[in-house]
Chain A
Protein backbone atom coordinates (compact mmCIF):
# COMPACT_ATOMS: atom_id res chain seq x y z
CA UNK A 1 0.00 0.00 0.00
CA UNK A 2 1.32 3.44 -0.79
CA UNK A 3 0.98 6.50 1.45
CA UNK A 4 -2.24 7.70 -0.17
CA UNK A 5 -3.93 4.31 0.16
CA UNK A 6 -2.81 4.07 3.77
CA UNK A 7 -4.18 7.55 4.47
CA UNK A 8 -7.50 6.64 2.86
CA UNK A 9 -7.85 3.31 4.69
CA UNK A 10 -6.88 4.68 8.10
CA UNK A 11 -8.74 7.94 7.52
CA UNK A 12 -5.86 10.18 8.58
CA UNK A 13 -4.01 12.93 6.71
CA UNK A 14 -1.04 12.06 4.52
CA UNK A 15 1.37 13.91 6.84
CA UNK A 16 0.18 11.82 9.77
CA UNK A 17 0.87 8.64 7.81
CA UNK A 18 4.39 9.86 7.14
CA UNK A 19 5.14 10.87 10.72
CA UNK A 20 3.66 7.65 12.11
CA UNK A 21 5.81 5.71 9.69
CA UNK A 22 8.89 7.48 11.03
CA UNK A 23 7.90 6.55 14.58
CA UNK A 24 7.10 2.97 13.59
CA UNK A 25 10.47 2.59 11.91
CA UNK A 26 12.21 4.00 14.97
CA UNK A 27 10.30 1.53 17.16
CA UNK A 28 11.26 -1.41 14.94
CA UNK A 29 14.86 -0.29 14.94
CA UNK A 30 14.92 0.05 18.74
CA UNK A 31 13.35 -3.38 19.16
CA UNK A 32 15.77 -4.84 16.67
CA UNK A 33 18.75 -3.41 18.50
CA UNK A 34 17.32 -4.57 21.83
CA UNK A 35 16.92 -8.14 20.63
CA UNK A 36 20.11 -8.43 18.61
CA UNK A 37 22.59 -6.30 20.46
CA UNK A 38 21.12 -6.05 23.94
CA UNK A 39 20.85 -2.28 23.79
CA UNK A 40 18.30 -0.66 26.06
CA UNK A 41 14.78 -0.02 24.86
CA UNK A 42 14.42 3.48 23.50
CA UNK A 43 10.93 3.36 22.09
CA UNK A 44 8.88 6.39 22.94
Chain B
Protein backbone atom coordinates (compact mmCIF):
# COMPACT_ATOMS: atom_id res chain seq x y z
CA UNK B 1 0.00 0.00 0.00
CA UNK B 2 1.30 3.41 -0.98
CA UNK B 3 2.11 5.91 1.79
CA UNK B 4 -0.41 8.74 2.03
CA UNK B 5 2.45 11.23 1.70
CA UNK B 6 3.69 9.86 -1.64
CA UNK B 7 2.03 12.62 -3.68
CA UNK B 8 3.64 15.28 -1.51
CA UNK B 9 6.99 13.50 -1.78
CA UNK B 10 6.70 13.75 -5.55
CA UNK B 11 5.75 17.43 -5.23
CA UNK B 12 8.79 17.89 -2.97
CA UNK B 13 10.99 16.31 -5.65
CA UNK B 14 9.50 18.64 -8.27
CA UNK B 15 10.19 21.70 -6.11
CA UNK B 16 6.51 22.48 -5.72
CA UNK B 17 6.30 22.73 -1.94
CA UNK B 18 6.68 25.77 0.26
CA UNK B 19 9.45 25.75 2.84
CA UNK B 20 7.35 24.55 5.77
CA UNK B 21 5.76 21.66 3.90
CA UNK B 22 9.13 20.72 2.44
CA UNK B 23 10.52 20.62 5.94
CA UNK B 24 7.61 18.36 7.01
CA UNK B 25 8.33 16.00 4.13
CA UNK B 26 12.04 15.87 4.96
CA UNK B 27 11.19 14.90 8.53
CA UNK B 28 8.62 12.36 7.33
CA UNK B 29 11.16 10.77 4.96
CA UNK B 30 13.51 10.28 7.89
CA UNK B 31 11.25 7.61 9.36
CA UNK B 32 9.20 6.42 6.34
CA UNK B 33 11.23 3.87 4.39
CA UNK B 34 8.69 3.83 1.56
CA UNK B 35 8.97 7.57 0.96
CA UNK B 36 12.75 7.42 1.21
CA UNK B 37 12.72 4.75 -1.49
CA UNK B 38 10.35 6.83 -3.60
CA UNK B 39 12.67 9.85 -3.41
CA UNK B 40 15.66 7.74 -4.44
CA UNK B 41 13.61 6.20 -7.24
CA UNK B 42 12.61 9.63 -8.57
CA UNK B 43 16.21 10.82 -8.43
CA UNK B 44 17.46 7.70 -10.24
CA UNK B 45 14.84 8.04 -12.96
CA UNK B 46 15.61 11.72 -13.39
CA UNK B 47 19.34 11.05 -13.72
CA UNK B 48 18.83 8.12 -16.09
CA UNK B 49 16.52 10.07 -18.39
CA UNK B 50 18.93 13.01 -18.50
CA UNK B 51 21.99 10.89 -19.14
CA UNK B 52 20.70 8.19 -21.43
CA UNK B 53 18.05 9.78 -23.60
CA UNK B 54 19.34 11.68 -26.57
CA UNK B 55 18.14 15.20 -27.14
CA UNK B 56 15.62 15.40 -29.95
CA UNK B 57 15.11 18.66 -31.80
CA UNK B 58 11.65 19.67 -32.87
CA UNK B 59 11.09 18.48 -36.46
CA UNK B 60 10.98 21.47 -38.85
CA UNK B 61 7.51 20.48 -40.13
CA UNK B 62 6.05 20.46 -36.60
CA UNK B 63 7.74 23.76 -35.78
CA UNK B 64 6.30 25.30 -38.96
CA UNK B 65 2.80 24.04 -38.08
CA UNK B 66 2.99 25.50 -34.59
CA UNK B 67 4.23 28.84 -35.90
CA UNK B 68 1.45 28.93 -38.51
CA UNK B 69 -1.14 28.22 -35.82
CA UNK B 70 0.28 31.00 -33.65
CA UNK B 71 0.26 33.40 -36.58
CA UNK B 72 -3.37 32.58 -37.30
CA UNK B 73 -4.31 33.07 -33.67
CA UNK B 74 -2.57 36.45 -33.67
CA UNK B 75 -4.43 37.51 -36.81
CA UNK B 76 -7.81 36.57 -35.36
CA UNK B 77 -7.20 38.38 -32.08
CA UNK B 78 -5.65 41.54 -33.55
CA UNK B 79 -8.24 44.36 -33.54
CA UNK B 80 -9.21 45.36 -37.04
CA UNK B 81 -8.56 48.88 -38.15
CA UNK B 82 -11.67 50.97 -38.48
CA UNK B 83 -11.98 51.94 -42.16
CA UNK B 84 -13.80 55.13 -41.19
CA UNK B 85 -10.83 56.29 -39.13
CA UNK B 86 -8.54 55.69 -42.06
CA UNK B 87 -10.63 57.75 -44.43
CA UNK B 88 -11.44 60.57 -41.97
CA UNK B 89 -7.82 61.35 -41.07
CA UNK B 90 -6.93 65.04 -41.24
CA UNK B 91 -3.56 66.67 -40.62
CA UNK B 92 -3.43 68.32 -37.17
CA UNK B 93 -2.28 71.88 -36.74
CA UNK B 94 1.43 72.40 -36.14
CA UNK B 95 1.10 73.75 -32.53
CA UNK B 96 -0.86 70.68 -31.44
CA UNK B 97 1.91 68.44 -32.62
CA UNK B 98 4.60 70.61 -31.03
CA UNK B 99 2.92 70.67 -27.60
CA UNK B 100 2.21 66.96 -27.65
CA UNK B 101 5.87 66.41 -28.49
CA UNK B 102 7.01 68.56 -25.54
CA UNK B 103 4.55 66.80 -23.21
CA UNK B 104 5.71 63.38 -24.37
CA UNK B 105 9.34 64.34 -23.82
CA UNK B 106 8.58 65.61 -20.29
CA UNK B 107 6.75 62.40 -19.39
CA UNK B 108 9.54 60.28 -20.82
CA UNK B 109 12.14 62.31 -18.88
CA UNK B 110 10.15 61.90 -15.63
CA UNK B 111 9.83 58.16 -16.12
CA UNK B 112 13.53 57.87 -16.94
CA UNK B 113 14.42 59.89 -13.83
CA UNK B 114 12.46 57.61 -11.52
CA UNK B 115 13.65 54.45 -13.23
CA UNK B 116 17.31 55.27 -13.71
CA UNK B 117 18.25 57.29 -10.63
CA UNK B 118 18.98 54.70 -7.94
CA UNK B 119 17.46 55.17 -4.51
CA UNK B 120 19.45 54.85 -1.30
CA UNK B 121 20.41 51.18 -0.93
CA UNK B 122 22.01 49.14 1.80
CA UNK B 123 23.68 45.96 0.53
CA UNK B 124 23.23 44.34 3.95
CA UNK B 125 19.45 44.67 3.70
CA UNK B 126 19.53 43.14 0.22
CA UNK B 127 21.70 40.27 1.50
CA UNK B 128 19.34 39.58 4.40
CA UNK B 129 16.19 39.60 2.29
CA UNK B 130 17.87 37.44 -0.37
CA UNK B 131 19.02 34.98 2.28
CA UNK B 132 15.51 34.82 3.72
CA UNK B 133 13.88 34.29 0.31
CA UNK B 134 16.50 31.69 -0.64
CA UNK B 135 15.79 29.84 2.60
CA UNK B 136 12.13 29.49 1.62
CA UNK B 137 13.03 27.44 -1.45
CA UNK B 138 12.76 23.67 -1.02
CA UNK B 139 15.72 22.08 0.77
CA UNK B 140 17.24 25.44 1.70
CA UNK B 141 15.48 26.21 4.96
CA UNK B 142 17.28 24.13 7.53
CA UNK B 143 20.69 22.49 7.86
CA UNK B 144 20.06 21.13 11.35
CA UNK B 145 16.47 20.10 12.06
CA UNK B 146 15.70 20.24 15.75
CA UNK B 147 13.36 21.84 18.23
CA UNK B 148 15.96 21.38 20.95
CA UNK B 149 18.14 24.41 21.65
CA UNK B 150 20.76 22.09 23.13
CA UNK B 151 21.10 20.46 19.70
CA UNK B 152 20.92 23.60 17.56
CA UNK B 153 23.28 25.86 19.52
CA UNK B 154 26.25 23.43 19.64
CA UNK B 155 25.75 22.72 15.95
CA UNK B 156 26.51 26.36 15.15
CA UNK B 157 29.84 26.09 17.00
CA UNK B 158 31.26 23.86 14.30
CA UNK B 159 29.60 25.48 11.32
CA UNK B 160 29.51 29.25 11.79
CA UNK B 161 31.74 32.02 13.11
CA UNK B 162 29.29 33.04 15.83
CA UNK B 163 27.33 31.52 18.72
CA UNK B 164 23.92 33.16 18.72
CA UNK B 165 21.24 32.97 21.37
CA UNK B 166 19.00 29.97 20.66
CA UNK B 167 15.79 29.22 22.54
CA UNK B 168 12.46 27.61 21.86
CA UNK B 169 9.38 29.74 22.49
CA UNK B 170 6.71 27.28 21.43
CA UNK B 171 4.43 28.28 24.29
CA UNK B 172 4.56 31.88 23.11
CA UNK B 173 3.83 30.82 19.51
CA UNK B 174 7.36 30.78 18.14
CA UNK B 175 8.50 27.21 17.57
CA UNK B 176 12.19 26.58 17.05
CA UNK B 177 12.51 24.33 13.99
CA UNK B 178 16.23 24.39 13.28
CA UNK B 179 19.28 26.28 12.14
CA UNK B 180 21.24 27.01 9.02
CA UNK B 181 24.48 28.58 7.84
CA UNK B 182 24.41 31.59 5.55
CA UNK B 183 27.32 33.53 4.14
CA UNK B 184 27.22 37.30 4.08
CA UNK B 185 29.24 40.25 5.33
CA UNK B 186 32.34 38.11 4.58
CA UNK B 187 31.58 35.54 7.27
CA UNK B 188 29.59 32.42 8.03
CA UNK B 189 26.50 33.84 9.66
CA UNK B 190 24.04 31.83 11.72
CA UNK B 191 20.35 31.62 10.91
CA UNK B 192 18.02 30.29 13.59
CA UNK B 193 14.70 29.29 12.09
CA UNK B 194 11.35 29.67 13.84
CA UNK B 195 7.83 28.82 12.79
CA UNK B 196 5.10 31.23 13.80
CA UNK B 197 1.71 30.02 12.55
CA UNK B 198 2.24 29.57 8.83
CA UNK B 199 5.15 32.02 8.76
CA UNK B 200 8.85 31.26 8.76
CA UNK B 201 11.06 33.64 10.72
CA UNK B 202 14.80 33.62 10.10
CA UNK B 203 16.90 35.16 12.87
CA UNK B 204 20.29 35.97 11.36
CA UNK B 205 23.31 36.79 13.50
CA UNK B 206 26.82 37.85 12.60
CA UNK B 207 29.79 39.52 14.23
CA UNK B 208 30.14 43.22 13.57
CA UNK B 209 32.57 45.88 14.74
CA UNK B 210 30.00 48.59 14.06
CA UNK B 211 28.22 50.05 17.05
CA UNK B 212 25.15 51.18 15.14
CA UNK B 213 22.48 48.83 13.89
CA UNK B 214 20.22 49.56 10.94
CA UNK B 215 16.70 50.77 11.66
CA UNK B 216 13.84 48.29 11.45
CA UNK B 217 12.47 48.37 7.95
CA UNK B 218 10.41 46.60 5.31
CA UNK B 219 11.87 45.32 2.05
CA UNK B 220 9.88 43.60 -0.73
CA UNK B 221 7.09 42.99 1.77
CA UNK B 222 9.38 41.37 4.36
CA UNK B 223 9.85 42.96 7.76
CA UNK B 224 13.37 43.26 9.13
CA UNK B 225 13.99 43.93 12.84
CA UNK B 226 17.54 44.62 14.04
CA UNK B 227 19.22 44.59 17.43
CA UNK B 228 22.65 44.06 18.90
CA UNK B 229 24.02 42.08 21.82
CA UNK B 230 27.70 42.63 22.48
CA UNK B 231 29.39 42.56 19.11
CA UNK B 232 26.73 40.26 17.65
CA UNK B 233 24.23 41.87 15.36
CA UNK B 234 20.87 40.20 14.92
CA UNK B 235 18.19 40.59 12.30
CA UNK B 236 14.83 38.82 12.31
CA UNK B 237 13.25 38.59 8.84
CA UNK B 238 9.77 37.39 7.99
CA UNK B 239 6.54 38.09 6.19
CA UNK B 240 4.77 37.82 9.55
CA UNK B 241 3.28 41.05 10.90
CA UNK B 242 5.68 43.63 12.30
CA UNK B 243 4.26 43.26 15.84
CA UNK B 244 4.54 39.48 15.66
CA UNK B 245 8.16 39.77 14.59
CA UNK B 246 8.92 42.20 17.43
CA UNK B 247 7.32 39.71 19.85
CA UNK B 248 10.05 37.19 18.99
CA UNK B 249 12.72 39.90 19.12
CA UNK B 250 11.71 40.77 22.71
CA UNK B 251 11.79 37.11 23.73
CA UNK B 252 15.26 36.66 22.23
CA UNK B 253 16.55 39.84 23.88
CA UNK B 254 15.25 38.61 27.25
CA UNK B 255 16.92 35.24 26.65
CA UNK B 256 20.23 37.02 25.86
CA UNK B 257 19.96 39.01 29.08
CA UNK B 258 19.29 35.82 31.08
CA UNK B 259 22.29 34.08 29.44
CA UNK B 260 24.54 37.05 30.24
CA UNK B 261 23.44 37.21 33.88
CA UNK B 262 23.95 33.44 34.28
CA UNK B 263 27.48 33.83 32.97
CA UNK B 264 28.16 36.73 35.34
CA UNK B 265 27.03 34.65 38.33
Contacts of B10 in A (CB 8 A): 18, 21-22, 25
A 11-41 contacts with B by CB, 8 A: 15, 18-19, 21-22, 25, 28-29, 32
B118 to chain A, nearest CB (A): 33
Q: Give the complex CA separation of A23 and B80 in angstroms.
A: 46
For this complex, 23 residue pairs linking A to B, each with C-beta atoms less than 8 Å apart, are A2-B14, A2-B16, A3-B11, A3-B14, A3-B16, A15-B7, A18-B7, A18-B10, A18-B11, A19-B7, A21-B10, A22-B6, A22-B7, A22-B10, A25-B10, A25-B45, A28-B45, A28-B49, A29-B41, A29-B45, A32-B45, A32-B48, A32-B49
List the 4 closest pairs (A to B, CB-CB), nearest first: A18-B7, A3-B16, A29-B45, A22-B10
Residues of B near any A CB (own CB < 8 A): 6-7, 10-11, 14, 16, 41-42, 45, 48-49
The DSSP consensus for interface residues of chain B is helix
Q: Give the complex CA separation of A18 and B14 in angstroms.
A: 10
Contacts of A19 in B (CB 8 A): 7
Please state if A25 and B42 are interface contacts (CB–CB under 8 Å). Answer: yes
Q: With A2-B14, A21-B10 given, can you name 9 additional A-B contacts, CB distance below 8 Å?
A: A18-B10, A19-B7, A21-B14, A25-B10, A25-B42, A25-B45, A32-B45, A32-B48, A32-B49
Contacts of B45 in A (CB 8 A): 25, 28-29, 32
Contacts of B41 in A (CB 8 A): 29
Q: Give the nearest-CB partner of B38 in chain A.
A: A22
Size category, A interface: 10 to 19
Residues of A near any B CB (own CB < 8 A): 2-3, 15, 18-19, 21-22, 25, 28-29, 32
A8 to chain B, nearest CB (A): 14
A27 to chain B, nearest CB (A): 12
Contacts of A22 in B (CB 8 A): 6-7, 10
Q: Give the nearest-CB partner of B16 in chain A.
A: A3
Q: Give the complex CA separation of A37 and B14 in angstroms.
A: 27
Q: Give the complex CA separation of A32 and B41 in angstroms.
A: 13
Q: Give the complex CA separation of A28 and B10 in angstroms.
A: 15
A43 to chain B, nearest CB (A): 15
Q: Give the nearest-CB partner of A4 in chain B.
A: B16
Q: Give the complex CA separation of A22 and B42 in angstroms.
A: 10
Q: Give the complex CA separation of A42 and B200 in angstroms.
A: 43
Contacts of A3 in B (CB 8 A): 11, 14, 16
Q: Give the complex CA separation of A22 and B9 in angstroms.
A: 11
Q: Give the complex CA separation of A14 and B66 in angstroms.
A: 27
Q: Give the complex CA separation of A2 and B17 in angstroms.
A: 11
Q: Give the nearest-CB partner of B46 in chain A.
A: A25
Q: Give the nearest-CB partner of A29 in chain B.
A: B45
Contacts of B14 in A (CB 8 A): 2-3, 21
